[in-house]
C-alpha cells in the first residue's frame, strides 16, 4: 500500500478541500496530511462520515508516491484556480467561496 | 426577439422554485448525490475542478442588451466577475456555490433566461445561425423554428432520460454557420423544387471519441411537419439507443449500427403513425411565435457611406477590422459586426462583467439593442448601419474589444480544459494564448487568411478540434500534458474530420509546430488558395515531412 492524501469538494460551495492530520477538512493544500497504512483507516472513516453528514462530495484518494501527486490536475486544484488570468472586471471583486469548516 | 408570456414566466419561476427545494433536500441529506446529480445537471449545474459551474442557455444565441447586463450582474454578484461563452451558445460561470444556485435561477427568470436542459441526457439548448434574421443568404429566419423546437423539447416527458445527451442545430443560410454537420440532428432550411420551404435533415454527427459527420436522413421534410418528424427520430433513438455503455450511447453509434437506410426506414414508419396528429404545430401557434421575430424597422442607409470610406482610408487597423469583422447583412446599407473575444492574455470566449456591459452598450448605441453569440465563441452586434461602423469600432476599442480576429488563425476555439474541467487531460487556455502570441502580428495574420485552430483538453472534444483546419487535442502522456495535431477538419459546408498527423508534442513545442505548418502552407499555396484548399489539393504528406523531418524545403519539393 502507498501513502495517500484525501481530497474532495465541499457540497455547499464546491470548494476543493483536503483532509488534515487532525481529521478536519482544509481548503489549504499545504495542510493536507499524508496518511500511511495505519492512519488511512481512520481517514477513510472520516471521509465516509463527511459524506454522510453532507459536508463533502466527489471524494477521492491521491496516491502520494504515485504519479497523481504531481499531476497537473492536482497542482491546479491545489492552486485553487486556473493557471491563466481570467478577464479582470473594472469594478470591485465579487464574493469568494467561504473558507473551511 | 422572443418575449416570455405569462405562461412561460410562470413555468420558469416554478422550475426555479422546484430546484430550490431539491437543493434544500440535498443539503439536508434527503437526496443522495446519486439522486441529486441528474436533477442539478438538468438545471445546468456541474461540479467542476474548483467549484460548481452553471451553464446558462442563450437560446439560438440571441440576447437583448438588458439580458447581457443581467448576466454581467450575476457574474459580479455570484461569481468572479466574468463568464465564458461556449461553442453551443451558452455562457458558463465557473465559481458558483450550490447554495446560491437557486437565487441565480430566480434572478435569470426575472430577465427571461434559464439553465434548463443545458446538461443531462436530454435535448440540449437548440443552437442556430448567429446571423439569423440578419443574414444576406438565408431562406427564412431559423429562430422561429429554433424557438418552436425549444418549446417542444423543454421538459418533454418522453425525452427527459435519453440514452445520452442530444444536440440540435438549425441553419437557414447558404453558408452553414451553426456546424449542423456535427450535431445529433442538423436542420437546414431549404426550398423544394416546388418552392416550398422545409428542412433537409442530417443525423448522427458529433465529435468526442467517435467523430462523425452527420449523414442525410431526409432530403426534404415540409416545415409544418418538423415536430412530428423530430419526435419520430427521438422515439427510435430513445427505444433503440444503447444504455449499457456511455461511450456507445449517442445517436451516431445507433445510426452506424443500423445503417442510415434502416434507421431512416424506422423513422419513416414511426412518422407515418404520428404525422398530421397532435404533435405538429397549428398554423395559428406558428404565426404567434413567428410574430416575435418580426424584422426590426431599419431605415434606408447607404451601402458605401462616405464616413466609412474615409475611416477605412485613414485607419489601417479599422480597415482590417471591417474586412474581418464586418459581416454582410441582408440590407446593403447595414452590417453585422463581430466583437472578438480573442486577444492576447484572454482565454477564448471569456468576457468580464464590465466587458459584457460594454458589449450591451455597443448594441444599444450602434445596433438595435440585440447581441448574438457565435459558435466561434465571439459575439455579434447585428443590424449596424455601415456608416456607424467607425463609431462602433472606436467604442469597442475603448472597451478593449476592438480585435479584428474573426476567422483568422488567432480566432481560436478552446474548451476550458484542465484549468477548470473535471474531465480534461490537459490545459487548453495557456496553449491558446501561446499560439495567439506567436501570431501576434495583425498583418501576418491577415496574410495567412482564413484558418481555424481549435483546442480540446480531452477526447470529449468540447473545443471541436476534429472540425478545425488545425486541431489540437490534449492528452495525458505519463502524467505530462501532450498535444496531438489534426489537419483538415471543417465545420460548415462539406464538414470534415481532421486527421492526426503523427505523434504528440509537449506543450512548449506546439506553437513552433503550428508555425512550421503555417510556413509550409505559405510556401506551397497557389495564389490566394485557402489552407483548406491547399490541404485538399496536396494532402498532408508535405506538412508531416515539414513537422517531423526537416521542414519547408521538403514540403515545397513534394
Listed in sequence order, the DSSP H helices in B399-530 are 429-438, 442-448, 510-524
Q: What is the ipTM of this complex?
A: 0.90
Q: Residue A69: is its pLDDT beyond 90?
A: no
Residue with cell 443590424: B383
Mutate to test the interface with A, among B74, B95, B507 (most CBs of A within 10 A): B95
Diameter of chain A by CA atoms?
51
Flag whether B16 is in a domain. yes
Q: Which residues of B touch A65 (CB under 8 A)?
A: none
Domain shared by B549 and B431, yes or no: yes
Specify if B65 maps to a domain: no
Is B382 a domain residue?
Answer: yes
Judgement on whether residues B147 and B243 belong to the same structural domain of the protein: yes
Partner residue opposite A87 with nearest CB, options B76, B82, B99? B82
Q: Which residues of A touch B51 (CB under 8 A)?
A: 9, 13-15, 97
**Residue B125 placed within a domain:** no
Q: What is the pLDDT of residue B171?
A: 97
**B168 and B261 fall within a common domain:** yes
pLDDT, tens only, A75-87: 999 999 999 999 9
Give the CB-side neighbour count of residue B180, counting CA atoms within 13 A.
30
Are B543 and B482 found together in one domain?
A: yes
User: Rounded distance, CA B48 to CA B46, Å?
Assistant: 6
- From the candidates A54, A60, A86, which should be mutated to test the interface with B, based on the most B CB atoms within 10 A? A86
Q: Is B178 a domain residue? A: yes
In this structure, the answer to whether residues B286 and B324 fall within a common structural domain is no
What's the pTM? 0.95
Q: Let me know whether B209 and B316 are in one domain.
A: no
Last residue of a domain, one of B255, B290, B325: B290
If you average pLDDT over every residue of chain A, what do you get?
86
Give how far B144 is from chain A: nearest CA, Å: 34
**Is the same domain home to B425 and B541?**
yes
Report yes or no on B21 lying in a domain.
yes
Are B431 and B478 part of one and the same domain?
A: yes
Are B286 and B311 in the same domain?
A: no
Q: At what angle do helices B389-398 and B353-366 cross, to 10 degrees?
A: 160
SS3 call for B259: coil
B321 and B254 part of one domain: no
CB of B482 within 8 A of CB of B508? no
Q: In chain B, which residue's Cα lies nearest the Cα of A73?
A: B418
B146 & B279 share domain: yes
Reference A46, options A17, A68, A67; nearest CA is A17
Q: Using CA atoms, how far apart are residues B245 and B161, in angstroms rounded to an integer?
A: 15
Asked if B147 contacts B60 with a C-beta cutoff of 8 angstroms, the reply is yes
* Domain of residue B41, residue span: 6-58+83-110
Asked if A86's CB is within 8 angstroms of B80's CB, the reply is yes
pLDDT in tens, B492-535: 889 999 999 999 999 999 999 999 999 999 999 999 999 999 99
Domains in chain B, number: 4
pLDDT of chain B, 558 residues: tens digit per residue: 888 999 999 999 999 999 999 999 999 999 999 999 999 999 999 999 999 999 999 999 999 999 999 999 999 999 999 999 999 999 999 999 999 999 999 999 999 999 999 999 999 999 999 999 999 999 999 999 999 999 999 999 999 999 999 999 999 999 999 999 999 999 999 999 999 999 999 999 999 999 999 999 999 999 999 999 999 999 999 999 999 999 999 999 999 999 999 999 999 999 999 998 889 999 999 999 999 999 999 999 999 899 999 999 999 999 999 999 999 999 999 999 999 999 999 999 999 999 999 999 999 999 999 999 999 999 999 999 999 999 999 999 999 999 999 999 999 999 999 999 999 999 999 999 999 999 999 999 999 999 999 999 999 999 999 999 999 999 999 889 999 999 999 998 899 999 999 999 999 999 999 999 999 999 999 999 999 999 999 999 999 999 998 655 555 554
Per the CB < 8 Å rule, is A91 touching B78?
no
Q: How far apart are CA B359 and CA B346, in angstroms?
A: 16
Q: Do B419 and B530 have their domain in common?
A: yes
Question: Is residue B74 one of the residues assigned to a domain?
Answer: no
CATH code at position B392: 3.90.480.20
Q: Kindly state whether residue B484 falls inside one of the protein's structural domains.
A: yes
- Report how far residue B367's alpha carbon sits from residue B337's, in angstroms, rounded to the nearest whole number: 9
Instruction: Say how far apart CA B218 and CA A90 lie, in whole Å.
Output: 51
Query: Is residue A38 less than 8 Å (CB to CB) from chain B?
Result: no
Q: Between B50, B351, B352, which is nearest A16 by CB?
A: B50
How far apart CA B75 and CA A89 sit, in angstroms, is 10
Amino acid at each position: 500500500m502507498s501513502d495517500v492524501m484525501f481530497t474532495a469538494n465541499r457540497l455547499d460551495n464546491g470548494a476543493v478541500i483536503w483532509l488534515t492530520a487532525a481529521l478536519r477538512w482544509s481548503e489549504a493544500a499545504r495542510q493536507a496530511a499524508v496518511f500511511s497504512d495505519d492512519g488511512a483507516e481512520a481517514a477513510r472513516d472520516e471521509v465516509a462520515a463527511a459524506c454522510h453528514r453532507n459536508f463533502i462530495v466527489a471524494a477521492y484518494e491521491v496516491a502520494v508516491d504515485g504519479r497523481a501527486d504531481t499531476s497537473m490536475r492536482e497542482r491546479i486544484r491545489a492552486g485553487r484556480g486556473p493557471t491563466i488570468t481570467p478577464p479582470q472586471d473594472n469594478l470591485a471583486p465579487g464574493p469568494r467561496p467561504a473558507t473551511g469548516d | 426577439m422572443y418575449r416570455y408570456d405569462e405562461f412561460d414566466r410562470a413555468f420558469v419561476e416554478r422550475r426555479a422554485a422546484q430546484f430550490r427545494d431539491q437543493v434544500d433536500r440535498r443539503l439536508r441529506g434527503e437526496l443522495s448525490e446519486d439522486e441529486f446529480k441528474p436533477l442539478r445537471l438538468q438545471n445546468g449545474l456541474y461540479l467542476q475542478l474548483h467549484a460548481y459551474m452553471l451553464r446558462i442557455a442563450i437560446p439560438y444565441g440571441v440576447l437583448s442588451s438588458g439580458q447581457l447586463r443581467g448576466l454581467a450582474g450575476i457574474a459580479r454578484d455570484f461569481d468572479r466577475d466574468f463568464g465564458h461563452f461556449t461553442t453551443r451558445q451558452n455562457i458558463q460561470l465557473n465559481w458558483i456555490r450550490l447554495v446560491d444556485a437557486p437565487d441565480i435561477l430566480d434572478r435569470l427568470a426575472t430577465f427571461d433566461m434559464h439553465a434548463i436542459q443545458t446538461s443531462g441526457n436530454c435535448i440540449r439548448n437548440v443552437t442556430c445561425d448567429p446571423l439569423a434574421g440578419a443574414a444576406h443568404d438565408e431562406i427564412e429566419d431559423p429562430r422561429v423554428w429554433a424557438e418552436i423546437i425549444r418549446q417542444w423539447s423543454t421538459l418533454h416527458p418522453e425525452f427527459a432520460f435519453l440514452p445520452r445527451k442530444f444536440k440540435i442545430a438549425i441553419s437557414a443560410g447558404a453558408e452553414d454557420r451553426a456546424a449542423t454537420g456535427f450535431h445529433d440532428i442538423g436542420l437546414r432550411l431549404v426550398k423544394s423544387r416546388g418552392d416550398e420551404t422545409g428542412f433537409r435533415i442530417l443525423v448522427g454527427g458529433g465529435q468526442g471519441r467517435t467523430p462523425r459527420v452527420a449523414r442525410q436522413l431526409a432530403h426534404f421534410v415540409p416545415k409544418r411537419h418538423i415536430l412530428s418528424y423530430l419526435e419520430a427520430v427521438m422515439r427510435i433513438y430513445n427505444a433503440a439507443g444503447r444504455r449499457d455503455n456511455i461511450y456507445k450511447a449517442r445517436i451516431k453509434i445507433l445510426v452506424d449500427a443500423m445503417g442510415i437506410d434502416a434507421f431512416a426506414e424506422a423513422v419513416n414508419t414511426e412518422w407515418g403513425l404520428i404525422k398530421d396528429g397532435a404533435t405538429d404545430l397549428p398554423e395559428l401557434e406558428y404565426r404567434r411565435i413567428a410574430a416575435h421575430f418580426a424584422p426590426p424597422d431599419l431605415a434606408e442607409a447607404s451601402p458605401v457611406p462616405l464616413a466609412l470610406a474615409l475611416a477605412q482610408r485613414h485607419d489601417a487597423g479599422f480597415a482590417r477590422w471591417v474586412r474581418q469583422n464586418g459581416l454582410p447583412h441582408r440590407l446593403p446599407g447595414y452590417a453585422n459586426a463581430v466583437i472578438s473575444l480573442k486577444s492576447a492574455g484572454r482565454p477564448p470566449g471569456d468576457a468580464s462583467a464590465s466587458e459584457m456591459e460594454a458589449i450591451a452598450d455597443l448594441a444599444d448605441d450602434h445596433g438595435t439593442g440585440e447581441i448574438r453569440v457565435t459558435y466561434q465563441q465571439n459575439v455579434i452586434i447585428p443590424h449596424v448601419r455601415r456608416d456607424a461602423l467607425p463609431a462602433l469600432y472606436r467604442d469597442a476599442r475603448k472597451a478593449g474589444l476592438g480585435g479584428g480576429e474573426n476567422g483568422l488563425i488567432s480566432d481560436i476555439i478552446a474548451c476550458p480544459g484542465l484549468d477548470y474541467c473535471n474531465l480534461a487531460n490537459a490545459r487548453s487556455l495557456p496553449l491558446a494564448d501561446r499560439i495567439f502570441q506567436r501570431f501576434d502580428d495583425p498583418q501576418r495574420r491577415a496574410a495567412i487568411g482564413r484558418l481555424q485552430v481549435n483546442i480540446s483538453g480531452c477526447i470529449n472534444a468540447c473545443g471541436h478540434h476534429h472540425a478545425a483546419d488545425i486541431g489540437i487535442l490534449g492528452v495525458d502522456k505519463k502524467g505530462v500534458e501532450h498535444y496531438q495535431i489534426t489537419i483538415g477538419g471543417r465545420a460548415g459546408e462539406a464538414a470534415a474530420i481532421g486527421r492526426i498527423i503523427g505523434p504528440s508534442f509537449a506543450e512548449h513545442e506546439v506553437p513552433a509546430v503550428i508555425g512550421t505548418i503555417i510556413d509550409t502552407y505559405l510556401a506551397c499555396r497557389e495564389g490566394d488558395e485557402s489552407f483548406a484548399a491547399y490541404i485538399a489539393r496536396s494532402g498532408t504528406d508535405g506538412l508531416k515531412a515539414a513537422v517531423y523531418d526537416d521542414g519547408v524545403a521538403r514540403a515545397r519539393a513534394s
